Structure 1
Amino acid sequence: MFVHNIQGHIMKKTLSIIPIIAGITAPVFLSGNVTAQNNTRTLATAVLADSRLDTVQARALRLLTGFSAGTSYGEVWIRDFNTFINGSLQVLPHDQVKEMLLLFFRMQGADGNIPDGVIPREKANVGYQYRYSDLAPQWAAHKNTVETDQESSLIQAVRKYIAVTGDEAFLFLAINDKTILQRMEASMAYLLKERWSEKYGLIKGATTIDWGDVQPETGWGVAINEKTKWAVDIYDNAMFVIAIQDFLAIKPKDYQAQRDWHKIATDIRKNVRKHLWDNRAQKYIPHLYLNGSPFSPSFNEKEILYTGGTACAILAGFHTSKEIAAINRQMIQAAAKEKFATIGITVYPPYPAKEFPNMHPYVYQNAGDWTWFGGRMIQALIINGFIQEAIAELKPMTDRVIAQNGFFEWYDVQTGTPKGSGNFRGEAGVLSDAITLLKKWAINQQ
């Protein structure tokens, strides 16, 4: 069993937050009794002495010299790149990383939308509806239109780039007479125009599993079609709020924004609490449907725990420490029900095949185990002071990397078998960032 039963957390005293890597912060003790401080130092010493963390991080950084998602993908996906750009900036020339960010802006749609993936033009031979731009003639782009996270992912990646490089001039580079700042705003305006639910005051997208990119019905599930059921969920809205926060953090003080983005983020936060958060169950309602549900009336979707979107909600600052503790307990309990699961299990229980014929139970995003999101929950735990929990819940993930001698897209929770793409950079990136956070915390306790 890859799950540890953790009781409480050690960060019960006053905390001060200091930034350590782009968009991420780590806790530092300011006060506490002597016994607690001694225990903390002992834990910190153990973290710094853990050579397995060094092994995993070194292996991750060796992998992050490329930009494609993994061996099974020719594309560079912005939702993936956003999660490993910190590592890329450690091992690649900054100009090379900068050019990849600029490529997504060069492929931006006239309405402000950001593509999902980019690929060399000669390799654009999969079933996507490709688009092209004279600004990048050697490239093709495509967009999985069921998602609503590409715009948010690019803005988050830009903040990470600037935080590491200090290259604020990047924001004023012009592409077809529009600066990067203006293009970032245009991408957010696209979401408010094309992906906005007036009923709930929240971002919407197609019905998928949590953060996934596949619709329930059989067929080409990544594109909006006549079967699409529009819905509101936590992942899209948490990602958008993080993006707004990042935009406001890097926006020059004298830049006149087109909208009051602070108010928009505040309103989304309020509406998330009002409509999506089930306070009694201490979990998120999976979907609020706008044009009917794709599932049968007898199916109780509210019983399903969404882990990835919830982790992003914690990173967006939506939750109190008490709520984070309750959320984490539920994730541990869900993982404990499957022999080889970690808190990276996407959802639990899985959607039955009858309800989600395009993705059967325990396959891919339907209760597969994805460190790509489990690692973000580890980051959220560290940021919010749940250090002991983070260490315990990170261990099965790093042990798995060492045992399998690499990084994989997802894992079968019933057999432990790695699945999907090998050399999966998203897993490498989130683990490297989590280890960096943990080491920074440990150093600050010495």
Structure 2
Amino acid sequence: MKILLPFFITLSTFTGLAANAQTTGKATLAKAIMADERLDTIQARALKLLSGFSAGTSYNEVWIRDFNTFIKGSLRVHPKDEVKTKILLFFKIQGDDGNIVDGVVDSAKANVGYKYRYSPLLRGWAAHKNTVETDQESSLVQAVKKYIDVTGDKTILNEVIGGKTVLQRMEDAFIYLQKDRWSAKYGLVTGATTIDWGDVQADGGWGVAINDKTKWAIDIYDNAMFVMALHDFVAMQPKGYKAKQNWSVVAAAVTKNVRKYLWDSKAQKYIPHLYLNGSPFTPDFNEKEILYLGGSICAIQAGFNTPAEVKEINRQMVAAAAKEKHATIGITVYPPYPTERFPNMHSYDYQNGGDWTWFGGRMIAPLLSYGYAKDAYAELSPMLDRVITNKGFFEWYDVRSGTPKGSGDFRGEAGVLYDAITVLKQWAARNK
């Protein structure tokens, strides 16, 4: 049915009415957000949990990929020097080639199946690196940027460790990636074949370590993390500092190559892997049908996509989550890899189709920045509900049963939810 406007309502008047309606809608949403008691409850619980630095009850280590995501909350409950000390641990045990470890742990508790590393610069501590993944270096640089953003303390950049400043060591980490984890052919960061952002390869022994069965590949997560770290470094770089490379140029080149090689414009999604020495899967398996949710979120954070693409990626993620009773946009991939294709991890288990608020919650800030506040609140809501229902923060959730799994008191989830709620409240305060 066509509705005819009265002749005296001009186009400009109608536009004004539409704008007023939009403003009213924002105000209503903002009011609902500000009245949501779950937000304060979960933030208070998160800060209580962030009194520690290990990843969770199943981990003794301080993991850099986790710490990077809860450092802002940590700075609310710890003196800044204590947080700085934890960041510097990773520089003190940095490899001679610039590589960064995954986790650091009290030497007395170094009793898992990792190949541990020790350093005279870090007495009493051991460290390990999951060599199949390529996000450790990027995570550490991002953590330094978050520390400075919250505290304003730029002195960390000039801390001297083993004759090198933190600034120099961050560049060493980038150069390591360019030398050891780099495809000259594609101009992108490489890693082993894992599931999206995961750190377990498809098959062949200890899943977190490179071995003779490793299939090298390029994925969106590693490259998005790298570009975010490059942007962070450039933003931190003091005026007059002579960097070893023009890292803005490197970031622009990686961004261009991501668009060229990893973005499927027809399907409006990222391909799972670009293989360098053959695929671990047989030709009859169409891996490109799998949606990588976590890596896609990081790609959006890195600024790889247009507003229209962001909208479509989010639509696909919501649609994927709707196919499982207890899923949110935190589900790692959809559909999961069949168990026979990925022997090291069964379907719907852990990183193979488990649901991780640790990643899903990272989509809230981008949605708000692109003007999708209603979607942000709606997509965050089930993540809030299960924290309340389960009376705590858990590593991941079974999308078929809703059962919490993995480590309890998982600080990664607590930190990401704390940050997501913070930006949601800030949006509501601006639009009330």
Confirm or deny that 1:151 pairs with 2:137.
yes
User: CA offsets, 1:154-205, max 9 Å, x none?
Assistant: 0000000011111111101100110000000000110001000011110000
Aligned positions of 1:1-20 closer than 5 A: none
Distance 2:319 2:164 in 1: 49
The secondary structure found in structure 1 opposite 2:99 is: coil
Aligned-residue sequence identity (percent) comes to: 68
| Aligned pair partner of 2:421 in 404, 416, 435 | 435
| Correspondence for 1:163 | 149
Distance 2:369 2:56 in 1: 28
| Aligned pair partner of 1:60 in 40, 43, 46 | 46
The secondary structure found in structure 1 opposite 2:407 is: strand
Tell me how far 1:384 sits from its aligned partner: 2.1
| Correspondence for 1:85 | 71
For the Cα contact (< 8 Å) 2:338–2:346, is it kept in 1? yes
| Correspondence for 1:233 | 219
| Correspondence for 2:311 | 325
Tell me how far 1:141 sits from its aligned partner: 0.3
| Aligned pair partner of 1:135 in 110, 121, 124 | 121
| Aligned pair partner of 1:337 in 320, 323, 337 | 323
Letter in 1 for 2:118: Y
What TM-score comes out, normalization by structure 2 length? 0.95
Letter in 1 for 2:96: A
The secondary structure found in structure 1 opposite 2:379 is: helix
Letter in 2 for 1:74: N
User: CA offsets, 1:21-61, max 9 Å, x none?
Assistant: xxxxxxxxxx9711111111111111111111111111111
Confirm or deny that 1:245 pairs with 2:211.
no
Tell me how far 1:383 sits from its aligned partner: 2.5
| Aligned pair partner of 1:364 in 345, 350, 360 | 350
| Correspondence for 2:6 | none
Distance 1:115 1:43 in 2: 43
Distance 2:422 2:368 in 1: 10
Letter in 2 for 1:171: L
| Correspondence for 2:333 | 347
Distance 2:25 2:257 in 1: 40
Tell me how far 1:99 sits from its aligned partner: 0.2
Distance 1:78 1:397 in 2: 23
| Aligned pair partner of 1:399 in 385, 389, 404 | 385
Distance 1:367 1:170 in 2: 38
| Aligned pair partner of 1:379 in 361, 365, 370 | 365
Letter in 2 for 1:50: D
Tell me how far 1:379 sits from its aligned partner: 2.4
| Aligned pair partner of 2:394 in 408, 415, 434 | 408
Confirm or deny that 1:174 pairs with 2:160.
yes
The secondary structure found in structure 2 opposite 1:240 is: helix
Distance 1:63 1:47 in 2: 23
What TM-score comes out, normalization by structure 1 length? 0.92
Distance 2:26 2:252 in 1: 35
For the Cα contact (< 8 Å) 2:204–2:213, is it kept in 1? no
| Correspondence for 1:25 | none
| Correspondence for 1:15 | none
Distance 1:98 1:45 in 2: 37
Letter in 2 for 1:150: Q
| Aligned pair partner of 2:109 in 97, 119, 123 | 123
Tell me how far 1:209 sits from its aligned partner: 0.1
Confirm or deny that 1:202 pairs with 2:199.
no
User: CA offsets, 1:241-298, max 9 Å, x none?
Assistant: 0000000111112101000101100000000000000011010000000000001110
- More off after superposition, 381-390 vs 135-144: 381-390
Aligned positions of 1:302-321 closer than 5 A: 302-321=288-307
Tell me how far 1:443 sits from its aligned partner: 0.9
Tell me how far 1:219 sits from its aligned partner: 2.1
Distance 1:382 1:73 in 2: 33
| Correspondence for 1:265 | 251
Distance 1:247 1:175 in 2: 18
| Aligned pair partner of 1:418 in 381, 404, 415 | 404
User: CA offsets, 1:353-376, max 9 Å, x none?
Assistant: 111011010000000000010011
Greater C-alpha Rg: 2
| Correspondence for 1:20 | none
Confirm or deny that 1:293 pairs with 2:279.
yes
Distance 2:156 2:347 in 1: 44
| Correspondence for 1:14 | none
| Aligned pair partner of 1:37 in 1, 23, 41 | 23
Distance 1:336 1:175 in 2: 49
| Correspondence for 1:112 | 98
For the Cα contact (< 8 Å) 2:204–2:211, is it kept in 1? no
RMSD: 1.0
Say if 1:192 and 1:32 are closer, same or farther in 2 by CA, change over 3 A: farther
Distance 1:397 1:59 in 2: 14
| Correspondence for 2:179 | 193
| Correspondence for 2:206 | 220
Distance 2:431 2:402 in 1: 35
User: CA offsets, 1:81-129, max 9 Å, x none?
Assistant: 0000000001111111000001110010000000000000000011000
- More off after superposition, 76-85 vs 46-55: 46-55
Say if 1:32 and 1:261 are closer, same or farther in 2 by CA, change over 3 A: farther
Distance 1:343 1:128 in 2: 31
The secondary structure found in structure 2 opposite 1:409 is: strand
